[in-house]
A and B are shown apart, each in its own frame.
Chain A
Amino acid sequence: MAERKAQLVRGFASLAFVVFMMAVAALPALAASFEDTLVGFTADSFNDTATAMSAVTESGDPLAPQILGALGDGRLLFSAATKKVYFKDSTDKLFDAATGAAVTAVAPGDLSPVRLNNRLRGLLSAALGSLTLMAPDVAKRIDAAETVFKSRDITTLPALDKALAQEKNAEVKEAMLEARAAIVIGAPDTSPEHRLVAITALNTRGDGDALVLLRTLPADVPANVKQAAASAISSIEYRLSIWANVQNLWYGLSLASVLLLAAIGLAITFGVMGVINMAHGEMVMLGAYTTFVIQEFFRAKFPGFTDYALIVATPAAFLVAGAFGIAIERGIIRHLYGRPLETLLATWGLSLILQQLVRTVFGPTNRDVGAPAWMAGAFQAGHISITYNRMWIIVFTIVVFAALLALLRYTAFGLEMRAVTQNRAMASAMGIKTGRVDALTFGLGSGIAGIAGVALAHIDNVSPNLGKAYIIDSFMVVVFGGVGNLWGTLVGALTLGVANKFLEPFAGAVLGKIVILVLIILFIQKRPRGLFALKGRAVEA
């Protein structure tokens, strides 16, 4: 009797201790009490095993998942003689279950696995499910709640309620409430009060899943519940539509940044020389291939620094494409001034040659440019997911644009370039070497295209046709924005990018693009020289 009493006291003590421990959820369980809970596994009775299992589950000990997992796989061993419990990992290495330390000493000779029956297996899977709801780690608890939300398994409800009762972290509590709401909202025997709580929780969650769940509300609920659900649905729908717009805006910005990168070089060459460079897309392609080559070089020579290949690739792409640009200007375009249509044809021919050249050297297949670690992955902002590579490309575009503006505004070369753009004859009369400015401008425009290639290599296939895909869009941006200044190109790229992405959900990707093209054709009728046209007598020349 006395012994039984002592056991009871000890049981109460440990229970009290567990409750206390839960109250300070962040604190790790103490090894001593945890070891005690394990003793039940050594009795070789199903009832004791069940008790021990729930004790382990409630302990919240970091070892608990491992132990329960081992139990399920028959890897949990006990020694009846020493009353100690061990578990083996998948490589048959033995660990002390109480401490998690690897067993270095000689293991007891009488190790045998803890046995399970069907009832225990059922309990075990429920325990495993709810176990992480009480894990000390906040992120793990949220994950567990999210799992329950997705599974909507009604058997986890008791464990969830228990976890909810002792949860102190507001964020986790919210996630658990949502999980609970997911379970009870559609259940037939939920009380109206609980349903209202569930509706509130789902309304707070406010995503597509919540919307689906709210629609599973049974028909035979009181009017006030129905009304609450209806207003929650409309509130969620409203918020989701705002988020959808934010998402579209983001996609639009992302597309706009790519368009801007591809078009801005074209705008420079077109603005200064009135020359449409049909080989501009191929300059982008050359930039992309330069990136590829440099990355391969880093991979072969300095495998540890592959992530930094980009730092070398950007200026290299600028130089390669820029050198090609200057060569094209000196070799071909110089002979065709005053004949813009012929220039268009000659550069088109050049683009065919460059494409075929790259095809001969690198082969017709797509080449892969790996993203550095800091560009991989995505993060969640509200209800939209933002990929790092798109974000960095936007940042990159802003930097390039700002640098270019500064170059035009504050350097002597920029001044000369603007002078030639506005009035070539007068600039020449003032002593500016227009031929040199032309060559450098063409080099600059091509170099910027090369830099665009660096960015595009990370979001698109590096293939000989890379340039082709962007050339018409780039023309549209330039023609729409006008060639008066770079801000026109910016506005053009933003408008087209965002309009395209906002049209896509209604019209589909292809029809959206057609609509944009038709709108541009009509817009050109209204403003034949684009949004930001140069004014003055230089225009007609």
Chain B
Amino acid sequence: MTGFSTTHPTLGKSGFAFLLTDRGGKILLALLLAAIIIVPILNLAVPPSSPFHISTFMVSLFGKYLCYALLALSVDLIWGFCGILSLGHGAFFALGGYAMGMYLMRQIGTRGVYANPVLPDFMVFLNWKELPWTWYGFDMFWFAMIMVLVVPGILAFAFGWLAFRSRVTGVYLSIITQALTYALLLAFFRNDMGFGGNNGLTDFKDLLGFNVQTDGMRVTLFVLTAIFLAASYILCRFIVSSRLGRVLIAIRDAESRTRFLGYRVANYQTFVFVISAMLAGIAGALYVPQIGIINPSEFAPANSIEIVIWVAIGGRGTLYGAVLGAILVNYGKSYFTGALPEAWLYMLGALFVLVTIFLPKGVVGAWPTIKARLAERLLSSKPKLEAAE
């Protein structure tokens, strides 16, 4: 477990030491900054005929990857630094997405199929006469954005407070988080819940008065996602580098011992769980306008388990590794489900098995070993090449 520890000899020297000592993080933030500047130019300013043009489709696709990266970051925060393996983080993601989706639904107004100024189409279709109380306030952007944080936050607080206080840990916790998202999946499938049932929420028009379908809005959403990812990364890095972060790592490595030292383990766990759920909610809220739909399948337990494998592949307990893993796996998924649809599930399955056995620290953790081995091979092959010449 020592491989995960984040030792910062400079801790406390400077306000930004937690960032400056983090090489992977610096690279990540630099890449995000570059994407924020370059992608809008390549999409909007470069003509489509140019080979440097990035299509709006690609912008949205990478925007989606960044949302997943933010989600993976939130899972790494609790799993990599506090040892809480949540198999239900997709639930918080979906709840944030639903909060955003509800705002977008209310913005449709009379432009829906049934042209009802208040009720979304599916409610008119179900013959409902008035808006359920759960939808009150979602016509206001600020309220919806607060809900993006509050709904996942409150659920995570209630769940975490109950579970951690009762010292439900390890496999048991994983299973009940899975039960949580499964229960929500079933609940959101019901039409009576008033969230669109099976079909979910879709057919969005405006976000703050701007049409979400336009190129400009897509690029804006991409940039926003990148900014939120960078900001969340800094927040997470700040948390794990602080004194609080040290306690979290202590809990991860020896929960009982930390408790005996006098720390209130449950409070730390609940705190970080709530922060993580809120980050997942933000990821969901950014995801929905870019994808254009939110439906109950986002709650599926299988999705939540997949998030964990992104983190595992990238490198648990490094934060930037989670981002890398999410982007790598999802890029691979997009590519292979198109090129070899039969093979993707084999590959995903094999990734789970091989990474857990051979790469317990993920790609990031294995990088030094790979680098050393590559260098060795290069060194040993160079004389041969020279000899051949």
Contacts and interface: CB of A to CB of B under 8 A. Distances in A.
A349 interface: yes
B308 to A, nearest CB: 6
B179 A520 contact: yes
Interface string B154-168: 000001001101111
Nearest to A355: B345
Given A345-B308, A345-B312, A522 B162 contact: yes
Contacts, number: 124
Contacts of A345: 305, 308-309, 312, 352, 356
B145 to A, nearest CB: 28
A526 B165 CA distance: 10
Given A345-B308, A472-B301, A540-B256, A524 B345 contact: no
A336 B357 contact: yes
The dominant DSSP class at the B interface is: helix
**Chain A interface residue number, banded:** 35 or more
A341 B183 contact: no
B386 interface: no
Contacts of B183: 513-514, 517-518, 521
B33 interface: no
A346 B172 contact: no
Interface in B344-389: 345-346, 348-353, 356-357, 360
Contacts of A475: 175, 178-179
Nearest to B300: A468
Contact of B345 (A274, A352, A518): A352
B162 A344 contact: no
Interface of B: 85, 159, 162-163, 165-172, 174-176, 178-180, 182-183, 186-187, 189-190, 256, 301-302, 305, 308-309, 312, 342, 345-346, 348-353, 356-357, 360
B166 A524 contact: yes
Contacts of A336: 356-357
Contacts of A351: 349
Contact of A344 (B171, B176, B302): B171
Nearest to A343: B356
A192 interface: no
A69 interface: no
Contacts of B353: 332, 346, 349-350, 353
B172 A510 contact: no
A521 B180 contact: yes
Contacts of B350: 349, 353
A18 B171 CA distance: 81
B174 A276 contact: yes
Contact of A528 (B172, B256, B309): B172
A91 to B, nearest CB: 54
Contacts of A525: 162-163, 165-166, 168
A324 to B, nearest CB: 14
A348 interface: yes
Contacts of A195: none
Contacts of B256: 540
Given A332-B353, A344-B174, 15 more contacts: A276-B171, A276-B175, A336-B357, A340-B170, A340-B171, A341-B170, A344-B85, A345-B356, A346-B352, A352-B345, A360-B342, A472-B182, A479-B175, A511-B190, A517-B186
